[in-house]
Copies of this chain bind each other. A is one copy, B any other.
Amino acid sequence: MKPKTYDDLLGGPQGGRDCAGRGILDHVMSRWGVLVLLALRDGTHRFSELRRRIGGVSEKMLAQTLRALEEDGFVLRHDFGEVPPRVEYALTPMGRQLATHVARLATWISDNTAQVLAARETRRSKAKG
């Protein structure tokens, strides 16, 4: 019997080895994964559009993030194969489902940001007092 590891907490050995779910979660919740998912919720966008929309992401990281999400089947990449180059990205149906969950979490956090900041203040003054 395996001990209770984080594999179990995340749904167990369904993926086969270690913890596939954990790897997916890492892609999704990577520094830029969330933002890409949210940015694609309202439709198709080109590479440079995404860069502008997300802001602060380097070409390298955006490309890397998009590739990871594409590999996982969350993002669809359409290369028009023209010059000048034109590539468009969109969510797959599965990606839309995922993005919905992510958006809920992001929304909750957004709605509770003030409360979190207040909690931090409380702690800070308690530490002083």
Within 8 A of B (CB), among A37-59: 38-39, 52-57
A5-B54, A38-B9 as given contacts; A20 in contact with B116, CB under 8 Å: yes
Which residues of chain B come closer than 8 Å to A105, judged between CB atoms? 25, 28, 101-102, 105
- 14 contacts across the A-B interface (CB closer than 8 A): A5-B55, A6-B55, A10-B109, A11-B109, A15-B114, A16-B117, A20-B117, A21-B109, A25-B106, A94-B116, A94-B119, A97-B108, A102-B105, A104-B104
A24 to B123, CA, bound (A): 16
A123 to B69, CA, bound (A): 12
Which residues does A use to contact B, with CB under 8 Å? 3-7, 9-12, 14-16, 20-21, 24-26, 28-29, 31, 34-35, 38-39, 52-57, 70-73, 94, 97-98, 101-102, 104-120, 122-123
Task: Tell me the number of copies of this protein.
Answer: 2
Max count, chain B CB within 10 A of own CB: residue among A29, A114, A120: A29
A25-B106, A105-B102, A108-B98 as given contacts; A3 in contact with B113, CB under 8 Å: no
